[in-house]
Chain A
Amino acid sequence: MPENASALQLVLSGDPALYAIVRLSLVVSLSAALFATLIGVPFGALIALNRFPGREAVVVVLNALMGLPPVVVGLAVYLLLSRSGPLGELGILFTPQAMIVAQTILIAPIIAALARQTLEDLWNEYRDELAAMDVGPLGRIATLIWDARFSLVTALLAGFGRAAAEVGAVIIVGGNIDGFTRTMTTAIALETSKGDLPLAIGLGMVLLAIVILVNALAWGTRSIGQRVAG
C-alpha cells in the first residue's frame, strides 16, 4: 500500500490490497450470514410453532445469545479447530473457512431469535386459517417462511451487519494473515496498532459505507415487502 496516502485517496484510487481485504470481508460475512440463515430460520420456526416443556427457557437463552461476545466465540472455535482440539483434523484454523464457522456461530442465534419472533407473530395470525385449511406441519412452516420472507431477509442483513463489523472472533480464528485472512476489521485493528491511521480510517469509511448500505437494503426490503404483500 502506498505510504503516506490519505484515507480518501486510498479508497478512491482502488488500492488492490484494500479491495482484496474488502472482498474477503464480504465473502466471509455473507457466507456466514447464509449459513446462519439456513440454521437459524428452521430452528426459529421449530420454536415458533411448537409448544414443549422448557420452551420459555429456550427463548430466553436464544435471545441472550444474540449478544454473544465475539471474542468468546472466537476462543471457543479456536480451541475446537486447533490441531490439539477435537476438530483439529480438519486443518482449517487460520483460514477463511474457520472465520466463516466462527461468524456463523456468532450470528445464527441472532437470525434464529429474529426469525422466531417474526414467525411466531405470523403463526398467531395464521394458525386458525391454516388449521381450517387442513395444512400439514411442513406446509405450515413453508407458508410462514414464504410469507415472512421479507422480514427474514431483514434478519439475514442484521446478521450480516453484525458479522462484518466484528473483529474479536475473526482475529483469533483467522490469525489476520496478510492477503489470506485479513478482513476490514482486523486490518483496522492492525493498522491502528501500527499507528497507520490513514489506512485504518480508509477501511473504517468503507466499513461504515457497507453498514449504511446494508441498512438501506433492509429498509428497501421492508418497503418492497409491504408493497407486494400488504
Chain B
Amino acid sequence: MISRRFILLAGIAASLTAAPAAAQEKSIVVASTTSTQDSGLFGHILPLFKAKTGIDVKVVSQGTGQALETGRRGDADVVFVHAKSLEEKFVAEGFGVKRYPVMYNDFILIGPNSDPAGIKGSRDIVAALKTIKAKIAPFISRGDKSGTHAAELALWRLAAIDIAKEKSDKILGPWYREIGQGMGAALNTASASNGYVLADRGTWLSFKNRGELEIAVEGDQRLFNQYGVILVNPAKHPNVKQELGQAFIDWIISPEGQKAIADYKINGQQLFFPNATAPGA
C-alpha cells in the first residue's frame, strides 16, 4: 500500500520534471553579465531573435569573470561580456573560437546629491577619482571581478592609485568598500551609505531605488565600455551547440541585430551603441 503510493508520487515528480527537459530543444545558454540582464536589453532583443530563428536563449547573468569561467567549464554555449583583455585571453587559451565586438555603453560615476567630494558636473573621471580619495569620501566597489570592477580598477590606475597594492599593503582606508556583489547591489549600497559608485549607464537608467543618488561624472572617453561575444570552443567542449550559438552571434552582429540593440531605450535614452563593424573595438 505504502510502496504503491510512493511509486505514484515518484511518477508525478518525474513527469513534472520531464516537461522542462522537452522544452530544452533548440536552445542555447548564454553566460552574460549582470549589466546586460539588469538593464533589460535581453528582454528587448531576445524575443526578436527567437521570432526569427525559433532559438530559445537562456541567459545566465553573472559577473564577467564568472561568466568566462562558466564558458571555460563548458557550461555555456556563448559568452557575452565586457572586458576586452580577459576576452582575448579566453580566446587565446583556446576556450573561445573568436571574439566579435558587439556594442558599447558607457560608465558613469554616481554619487549622492550632497556631493561630499565636490566633483559633480566634471567630465574628467581621473581627476574625480583623485578627489574622492583625497577627501576620503565613501566609494563603493563591486569587488566581484566583473567587467565593471575591472574597468573601475583600470580607472584607479589611470589616476595613479593602485587599489590592489594599497590593499595588500593594508594602507587602504575604510572609505573604499568592496561589496562583492552585482551592479544593482552596489547601487543599493551607495544609496544607503551616501557613497560614490561606478556604474554602467544601462543599469543606472533602469534602476528604480535611486534615493539621493544622481550622476556625478559622465562623458569622459575613458568611460566607454566595449562588449564582445564569443562562441565557446566546441573542440574543448563537444557539448557546445555550435550551430545555434553561431546563429546567435551572426544575428547580433548583423544589421538587424545591431538595429535591435540601438532601438532599446529607457525613458527615451539609448543605452547601448552597436559597433560590430568598428575597427579595433
Q: Which residues of A contact B (CB under 8 A)?
A: 27, 30-31, 34-35, 37-38, 82-85, 88, 91, 93-97, 100, 142, 145-146, 175-178, 180-181, 190, 192-197
Contact = CB atoms under 8 A, between A and B. Distances in A.
Nearest to A34: B13
Given A97-B21, A177-B60, A193-B181, 19 more contacts: A27-B16, A30-B13, A31-B16, A31-B17, A34-B12, A34-B13, A82-B74, A83-B75, A84-B73, A85-B73, A91-B239, A96-B17, A97-B17, A100-B17, A146-B1, A178-B43, A194-B207, A197-B208, A197-B209
B20 to A, nearest CB: 5
Given A193-B34, A196-B208, A96 B61 contact: no
Interface residues of B, number: 40
A195 B9 CA distance: 40
Contacts of A27: 16-17
A117 B183 CA distance: 46
A176 B60 contact: yes
Chain A to chain B: the 4 pairs with minimum beta-carbon distance, closest first: A193-B184, A83-B74, A195-B209, A175-B60
A175 B208 contact: no
B85 interface: no
B210 A195 contact: yes
B13 A83 contact: no
Nearest to B187: A195
A106 to B, nearest CB: 16
B98 interface: no
A195 B42 CA distance: 18
Nearest to A198: B208
Contacts of A193: 34, 38, 181-185, 188
Interface of B: 1-2, 6, 9-10, 12-13, 16-17, 20-21, 24, 29, 34, 37-38, 42-43, 58-61, 73-75, 181-185, 187-188, 203, 206-210, 237, 239
Contacts of B1: 146
Given A194-B208, A197-B209, A83 B239 contact: yes
Contacts of B237: 83
Residue from A83, A94, A195 whose CB has the most chain B CB atoms within 10 Å:
A195
Given A31-B17, A193-B184, A146 B75 contact: no
16 contacts: A27-B17, A31-B13, A34-B13, A82-B75, A83-B74, A84-B75, A94-B29, A97-B17, A175-B29, A175-B60, A178-B43, A190-B38, A193-B34, A195-B184, A195-B207, A195-B208
Contact of B188 (A84, A146, A178, A195): A195
A31 B207 CA distance: 35
Contacts of B203: 194
Nearest to A91: B239
Given A95-B20, A97-B20, A84 B74 contact: yes
A145 B210 CA distance: 55
A175 B71 CA distance: 13
A93 B43 CA distance: 22
A96 B19 CA distance: 10
Contacts of A94: 29, 58, 60, 75
A88 B2 contact: no
Nearest to B38: A194
A196 B38 CA distance: 10
Nearest to B209: A195
Given A193-B181, A193-B185, A95 B24 contact: yes
B60 to A, nearest CB: 4
A120 to B, nearest CB: 19
A196 B39 CA distance: 12
B73 A142 contact: no
Contacts of A180: 20, 58
A83 B210 CA distance: 40
Contact of A96 (B20, B42, B208): B20
Contacts of B17: 27, 31, 96-97, 100
A35 B59 CA distance: 28
Residue from B20, B21, B42, B203 whose CB has the most chain A CB atoms within 10 Å:
B20
A36 to B, nearest CB: 11
